[in-house]
Chain A
């Protein structure tokens, strides 16, 4: 009974942490735009949170830079289980234009286990909503 309640609340109101892991800001503003009146991501119960300890889903934008790497792992460890990672944008998926740079990784999945990929450079808010809804459906 309690388990079902916990599961239900998890699917109905996932709280997300927006983590800039070396992105160019474009995906970041599109994530914010998705939370605004036009797209209104909050209607799915999704709430943007400032601290990793409150979050269920980490939204990573960017290829993870060398200096950021250890911090990202630390933030990932602070998120309570079960946790999900969404790689947002082309550079979070594979490095995009930063491929071959001395300071950028080849995507978030080189550092963290990723549950969902949302393509685009940058993503459109519609794509983000689609990706998040698909992730939520997979949890059911």
Chain B
């Protein structure tokens, strides 16, 4: 007998609000459907009312884990619109922060995967080591999560000789730990037994469903924007694209650990070959009317920003396609014919970042009827709302 079960939006297995509706046959999932929109904050619409510089800080807050990837993707796009060539030292530092972010994100994921597999001590180990990376980011940028490092034409802070030495020293510790994790992920029988064969996604399925990032690479497709369409200084850096052929959650874990090792190599290369010179160049305030498509390899996969400018200091349109959104169809395919107990593991394996992927225009009016809101309606709603806002709150006037 088939019956329907709803999981979420608030559920211990999910760390962010999302709702999964499943049709079950005993313990086997026959069909699954995702309901989104619990975390939709209207970032794209907000971006249209702010200047290009202000949007640097807004795009950063699309997501907390891959904040730098959204900001860099946006910055690169706007730099293309401005026809601006960023400073070389700035690009090196930008790439350095990109890779450090990848390291912290992958360590975070490994811990979450360990926890979902019932391996709590692994969770604690990786998160302890993640603090080391957070410390490095704290030294460089002054903040642990939102680094605010990018600006048009380079970065906002330089790194000095002492920081460079300190990072290189700390990297040795991280390398040692990651070798241990690779060993563990490949040989610990309980861990391998839990992950192997779960959430199968064949090579053809992965290509058909447009999976991105480690999910795609674990199905044996060596696709990486850093290699295929190099941005920043990736065309000068020697590194390999990590893949696995097992097409399951274990493969995704192995791909991420391998990527960690590649990231350490990249960071070492960047720090040893850091060019001298200025770290930023002056950027114009206004942007000529044009449109641009910017690609970036975030820790979770390909991140795409589309920016359209109309000659003013504000973008006319910003469209964000986060990697998690591209991975949802593949997740449904992975969930089908799997067990209920595997849901957290399969779902965690794409490294979901739900707040990244909340880009919806279609709204449900609560009576089961979906409707598409037109731009003008959305604007009227926003205006109406803005009128109601009381800008004085607790005797403090809001500066905007």
Contact = CB atoms under 8 A, between A and B. Distances in A.
B244 interface: no
Given A24-B355, A122-B64, A102 B381 contact: yes
B10 interface: yes
A120 B372 CA distance: 36
B127 A33 contact: yes
Contacts of A121: 61, 146
Interface in B232-247: none
Contacts of A32: 127
If over half of B's interface residues share one DSSP class (helix, strand or loop), that class is named, otherwise mixed; here it is loop
A1 interface: no
Interface in B145-166: 145-146
B144 interface: yes
A36 B46 contact: no
A98 B46 contact: yes
Interface string A44-63: 00000011100000000011
A36 B65 contact: no
A65 B41 contact: yes
Interface stretch (B176-184, B271-279, B385-393): B385-393
B10 A97 contact: no
A23 interface: yes
B146 A122 contact: yes
A99 B398 CA distance: 10
B45 A101 contact: yes
Nearest to B353: A25
Q: Interface size class for chain A? A: 35 or more
A101 B46 contact: yes
Q: Interface size class for chain B? A: 35 or more
A50 B114 CA distance: 18
A117 B40 CA distance: 23
Contact of B41 (A18, A30, A75, A103): A103
Interface in A80-105: 91, 94, 96-104
Contacts of B3: none
Given A24-B63, A67-B40, A75-B10, A124 B46 contact: no
A99 to B, nearest CB: 7
B34 to A, nearest CB: 14
B16 interface: yes
Interface of B: 9-13, 15-17, 37-43, 45-46, 49, 57-58, 61-65, 67, 108, 124, 127-128, 130-131, 134, 144-146, 353-356, 378, 381-382, 385-386, 389, 393, 398, 400
22 contacts: A20-B15, A22-B41, A22-B355, A23-B64, A23-B355, A25-B353, A29-B65, A36-B127, A36-B130, A37-B124, A62-B39, A67-B38, A68-B9, A99-B398, A100-B49, A100-B382, A100-B385, A100-B386, A101-B41, A102-B45, A104-B42, A122-B146
Interface of A: 18-30, 32-33, 36-38, 50-52, 62-63, 65, 67-68, 71, 75, 91, 94, 96-104, 106, 121-122, 124
